[in-house]
Amino acid sequence: MTTSTKSNIFIVSILILSVLGCKNPKPNVKLSETVFDSKVDSLMNLMTLEEKIGQTAMYSGGWSVTGPTVSTNNKKYIKEGNVGAMLNVYSVKGTRELQKLAVEETRLGIPLLFGYDVIHGFKTIFPINLGLAASWDLEDIEKGSRIAAEEASAVGIHWTFAPMVDIARDPRWGRISEGAGEDVYLGSKIAKAYVKGFQGDDLSKHNTILACAKHFVGYGAAQAGRDYHTVNMGEGELRNVYLPPFKAAVDAGVETFMTAFNEVNGVPATGNSFIYRDILRDEWDFKGFVLSDYTAIFEMVQHGFAVDNKDSARLAMNAGIDMDMMGDVNRLYLKELVDEGKVDVAYIEDACRRILLTKFKLGLFDDPYRYCDEDREKEVIYKPEFLQAARHSAAISSVLLKNNDEALPLSSEKTIALLGPLVKDKENILGNWGAAGDRKGKAISVYEGIQEYLTDSKIIYAQGCDIETDDESKFNDAVIAAKKADMVVMVMGEDYDMSGEAASRTNIKLPGNQTKFIKRIREAVPNKKIVLVLMNGRPLDLSEEDTLADAILETWFPGTMGGNGVADVLFGTYNPSGKLTVTFPRNLGQVPIYYNMKNTGRPIPASNPHEDYKSHYLDSPNTPLYVFGHGLSYTTFEYSDFKLSAETIGMSDSLTASATITNTGDYDGHEVVQLYVHDKVGSVTRPVKELKGFEKIFLKKGESKTVSFDLKVEDLKFYNSKMEFTVEPGEFEIAIKGTSDFDFEHVFTLE
Ligand code: NOJ
């Protein structure tokens, strides 16, 4: 640095300190946005257009690879004041080094934001998000994201690119693993829980981070489940199904949004002003800032929407995208586009203002290094209570899909043949988006988890097969183990990178020869119980496994403490309570299949599912293998005494529905009680069932509880064909059940 640059910095720093007020508030003191607004204005008065554009650019530090390689010159750009944020850099040392460049070597010393994909944990990895959703436990989800924020914020991270709130109904799509599943109501509740967990109640605290609702919008509806693929949907579907979780995130105060890679009805999301300007800003009054997905801006050229990269910068800024992730198009072209009159400078001013405001809210102008704290890093990473929480989340996320003849829980008296490629696994168990988690030994394998319950002499281990190869050479050892043991537990599934980004599959069966292996074991021990423990990032076609195994426990990828959490369920320390938030089809041909489909004009009669000229398949039932809301327990629950506070309600009334749930089995346990409604006739047709409420309760054996839901008229609203959010009078069916698989028996009328 030359002496003159140094003295410039000195002069400008003095200037900034005076306009910002030297007596900056202490961290942890919540300031009103108005105070920040005036500080932002003062700062912006000092900035050149290039510096404002600089705030709208984000580059990768390359510590994690989360997209195609693009060459950038980060340090140079930072020093030139051309960078507002970085991704994929973490650790106190790593973030401090770059922050120092921004703060000490640029003209205005504006601190950088550091963003990272903290998706289901940072170091302490929780179950994948689809698994967390299956817990239906909003408090636990909030707590898990709070823990993730605690860990990430201690190593310099200010911002997570989560939650992914895309509704997803296609198991081929690898990113179904990152969301909450197929349902709008549940997805919206979960979106809020994540945002609250990450952002906490005060962004100025050093242990809270910015959340990011992604991917806006429609990403989960990619044609044929192929990642990044085209999305076409009517505005009704967009508003009724895909937008609500994003709106919920806005209502919860989410600070940032990320664009989607896909096009929506012919216009790439990243250049779609209807989505960003009309809906997000004008209708929803979103005040935070919008980040493009990784190189999504210049990908509009490949989409056939932008002429060239420069044109893509124009389209994105005009559409309302405030920050460019990795595309390097804002730095290169925005100034020119303003000079040519193709981008209104006010858009850039707005983008810069929003980004700076966020930096103020985080307290970065008070102390740019406040998130880089070695002591806190040592103290919080893998804190015992965090690991304990991850163990609990793994247990409550597991879904017992099948349990014939009480194959589960396991008894510590019996000898177990422990077979399969994932028994000793410590790598895949973290799932995709394992963030900074340790795949090389920190995680507890299922084998180790089971060792807490069984002496080694009662475990006979054989791997048997691989996840993906066709190698059968290890089958025989496993057959011998199965014959020696009292029963068999097989831990099978997908590789962790078979789900997540760019990980779509056209075959949703267990990969490799795993099913063949299960068959071989079944043939070898026809009379012994076989328990299948699954780890996977999507609904699988388990039709064959369902006929071969006595019990199936879906554990998703359960995270750092997965082995313990899963063993707790297997041995009954935790009675399983997870319920599917996504449908498991019988075969891929049924996809898309989800519980709240429409009825059609020719639904199949229950009495004759094969009746001709009805909406069905020749070669498969319409019903899935496991429905949304399904999940067994070691105990049984009986639902009785359904009551409605009224049979008819008016537009300003609300309705209370209640039912008594009794634990009729032999174990204490949790039950997820679900409220469903069916709007029988609408000016646009309504789904056959819609989740409108749920409550997770705990019942000791023999205990009963009455669960009540207050249903407001507002809860029955939907977007009609004129895109009015409205409710229509008429008859509604209603039920309180423990699954979505039921026929309605009760009706109320809205007048
Ligand atoms: C691309 C993914 O779509 C997005 O979800 C992620 O946050 C970014 N890469 C950054 O890693």
CA atoms of 736 and 741, how far apart (whole Å):
11
545 CB near ligand 1 (under 6 Å): no
* Residue 67 CA, ligand 1 centroid: distance in Å: 7
- Which one of 117, 177, 262 would you pick to mutate in the ligand 1 pocket, going by the greatest count of ligand atoms within 8 A of its CB? 117
What values do phi and psi take at 693, rounded to 5?
180, 160
Structure confidence at residue 638 (pLDDT): 98
486 near 598, Cβ under 8 Å?
A: no
Q: Which residues pair with 428 in a beta bridge?
A: none
- Examine the pLDDT at 166 and tell me if it is beyond 60: yes
* Residue 695 CA, ligand 1 centroid: distance in Å: 33
Structure confidence at residue 72 (pLDDT): 78
Judge if 407 and 506 occupy the same domain: yes
501 CB near ligand 1 (under 6 Å): yes
719 CB near ligand 1 (under 6 Å): no
Strand, coil or helix: 556: coil
DSSP secondary structure letter of residue 242: I
218: left (phi over 0), alpha (psi -120 to 50) or beta: left
* Residue 162 CA, ligand 1 centroid: distance in Å: 9
DSSP string, 139-173: HHHHHHHHHHHHHHHHBT--EE---B------TTS
What values do phi and psi take at 246, rounded to 5?
-70, -40
Closest C-alpha to 539, from 575, 577, 491, 494: 494
- Tell me, yes or no, whether 239 lies in a domain: no
* Residue 216 CA, ligand 1 centroid: distance in Å: 12
Residues 293-335 have pLDDT tens digits of 999 999 999 999 999 999 999 999 999 999 999 999 999 999 9
461 CB near ligand 1 (under 6 Å): no
* Residue 165 CA, ligand 1 centroid: distance in Å: 13
Pairing assessment for the beta strands 637-644 and 551-554 based on DSSP bridges: unpaired
- Examine the pLDDT at 241 and tell me if it is beyond 50: yes
Domain count, the chain: 2
Catalytic residue IDs: 293
- Examine the pLDDT at 21 and tell me if it is beyond 50: no
How large is the average pLDDT for residues 187-204? 97
Strand, coil or helix: 590: helix
Q: Which residue has the tokens 């993730």?
A: 148
Percent of the chain whose pLDDT exceeds 90: 93
- Examine the pLDDT at 47 and tell me if it is beyond 90: yes
Judge if 661 and 735 occupy the same domain: yes
Judge if 510 and 408 occupy the same domain: yes
CA atoms of 93 and 357, how far apart (whole Å):
26
* Residue 660 CA, ligand 1 centroid: distance in Å: 45
* Residue 379 CA, ligand 1 centroid: distance in Å: 29
293 CB near ligand 1 (under 6 Å): yes
- Tell me, yes or no, whether 696 lies in a domain: yes
299 CB near ligand 1 (under 6 Å): no
CA atoms of 90 and 83, how far apart (whole Å):
17
What values do phi and psi take at 460, rounded to 5?
-115, 110
DSSP string, 81-135: T--SEEES--SHHHHHHHHHHHHHHSSS-PPPEEEE--SSBSSSBPPPHHHHHHT
* Residue 629 CA, ligand 1 centroid: distance in Å: 29
117 CB near ligand 1 (under 6 Å): yes
Task: Give the HSE-up count for residue 84: Cα atoms under 13 Å, Cβ half-sphere.
Answer: 30
Residue 64 — very low, low, confident or very high, per pLDDT cuts 50/70/90? confident
- Which one of 217, 324, 501, 504 would you pick to mutate in the ligand 1 pocket, going by the greatest count of ligand atoms within 8 A of its CB? 501
DSSP string, 424-477: S-SSGGG-S--TT--TTTTSPPHHHHHHTTS-GGGEEEE--S-SS----TTHHH
175 CB near ligand 1 (under 6 Å): no
Q: Which element (helix H / strand E) includes 14?
A: helix 3-20
Average pLDDT over the chain reads 95
How large is the average pLDDT for residues 539-544? 98
DSSP secondary structure letter of residue 240: I
137 CB near ligand 1 (under 6 Å): no
Residues 489-526 have pLDDT tens digits of 999 999 999 999 999 999 999 999 999 999 999 999 99
- Examine the pLDDT at 29 and tell me if it is beyond 80: no
Q: Which residue has the tokens 């009551």?
A: 643
161 CB near ligand 1 (under 6 Å): yes
- Closest Cα to atom 4, ligand 1: which residue? 293
Can you tell me which atom of ligand 1 is nearest the CA of 115?
A: 10
439-444's contacts with Cβ under 8 Å and 24+ in sequence apart are 442/382, 442/560, 443/125, 443/559, 443/560, 443/561, 443/562, 443/563, 444/560, 444/561, 444/562, 444/563, 444/564
- Tell me, yes or no, whether 694 lies in a domain: yes
**Which residues have CB under 8 Å from 203's CB, separation 6+?**
210, 255, 361, 362, 363
Judge if 586 and 651 occupy the same domain: no
- Which one of 60, 63, 65, 66 would you pick to mutate in the ligand 1 pocket, going by the greatest count of ligand atoms within 8 A of its CB? 66
Structure confidence at residue 62 (pLDDT): 82
Neighbours of 184 (CB within 10 A): 20
- Closest Cα to atom 1, ligand 1: which residue? 294
Closest C-alpha to 171, from 494, 631, 609, 633: 494
Structure confidence at residue 32 (pLDDT): 57
Angle subtended at Cα 112 by Cα 106 and Cα 201, rounded to the nearest 5 degrees: 145
- Closest Cα to atom 11, ligand 1: which residue? 66
- Examine the pLDDT at 7 and tell me if it is beyond 50: no
228 CB near ligand 1 (under 6 Å): no
Judge if 447 and 544 occupy the same domain: yes
Cα dihedral sign, 115-68-162-328: positive
690 CB near ligand 1 (under 6 Å): no
Structure confidence at residue 19 (pLDDT): 39
Domain boundary among 555, 575, 590: 590
How large is the average pLDDT for residues 64-75? 81
Judge if 536 and 657 occupy the same domain: no
* Residue 69 CA, ligand 1 centroid: distance in Å: 13
Structure confidence at residue 33 (pLDDT): 67
64-72's contacts with Cβ under 8 Å and 24+ in sequence apart are 64/88, 64/116, 64/117, 64/435, 64/436, 66/117, 66/294, 66/501, 67/294, 67/295, 67/326, 68/294, 68/295, 70/295, 70/326, 70/327, 70/328, 72/326, 72/328
Structure confidence at residue 16 (pLDDT): 46
Tokens describing residue 258: 């990320």
**Which residues have CB under 8 Å from 498's CB, separation 6+?**
174, 505, 511, 536, 537
433 CB near ligand 1 (under 6 Å): no
Q: Which residue has the tokens 């650019």?
A: 57
DSSP E strands, 270-407: 289-291, 324-325, 399-403
Residues 591-644 have pLDDT tens digits of 999 999 999 999 999 899 899 999 999 999 999 999 999 999 999 999 999 999
Helix and strand counts by DSSP (H, E) for the chain: 22, 26
How large is the average pLDDT for residues 25-51? 77
Structure confidence at residue 14 (pLDDT): 38
214 CB near ligand 1 (under 6 Å): yes
Judge if 585 and 724 occupy the same domain: no
- Examine the pLDDT at 6 and tell me if it is beyond 60: no
Judge if 666 and 532 occupy the same domain: no
- Closest Cα to atom 3, ligand 1: which residue? 293
Can you tell me which atom of ligand 1 is nearest the CA of 162?
A: 7
Structure confidence at residue 260 (pLDDT): 98
Q: What's 660's domain CATH number?
A: 2.60.40.10
CA atoms of 389 and 132, how far apart (whole Å):
12
CA atoms of 386 and 152, how far apart (whole Å):
13
128 near 381, Cβ under 8 Å?
A: no
CA atoms of 707 and 699, how far apart (whole Å):
12
- Tell me, yes or no, whether 351 lies in a domain: no
- Tell me, yes or no, whether 514 lies in a domain: yes
- Tell me, yes or no, whether 562 lies in a domain: yes
From residue 670, give the alpha-carbon distance in Å to each of 31, 395, 428, 630, 639: 42, 12, 28, 14, 14
Residues 720-735 have pLDDT tens digits of 999 999 999 999 999 9
120 CB near ligand 1 (under 6 Å): no
- Closest Cα to atom 8, ligand 1: which residue? 294
Q: Output the furthest CA–CA distance in the chain (Å, rounded).
A: 88
- Tell me, yes or no, whether 436 lies in a domain: yes
Residues 104-150 have pLDDT tens digits of 999 999 999 999 999 999 999 999 999 999 999 999 999 999 999 99
Judge if 650 and 580 occupy the same domain: no
AA identity, residue 180: A
CA atoms of 296 and 68, how far apart (whole Å):
11
* Residue 259 CA, ligand 1 centroid: distance in Å: 10
67 CB near ligand 1 (under 6 Å): yes
Domain boundary among 558, 590, 622: 590
Domain boundary among 525, 558, 590: 590
Can you tell me which atom of ligand 1 is nearest the CA of 215?
A: 5
Judge if 645 and 573 occupy the same domain: no
Q: Which domain does 714 fall in, by range? A: 637-750
- Tell me, yes or no, whether 663 lies in a domain: yes
* Residue 218 CA, ligand 1 centroid: distance in Å: 15
Judge if 574 and 658 occupy the same domain: no
CA atoms of 502 and 491, how far apart (whole Å):
25
Q: Which residues pair with 749 in a beta bridge?
A: 648, 731
Q: What's 547's domain CATH number?
A: 3.40.50.1700
Judge if 584 and 654 occupy the same domain: no
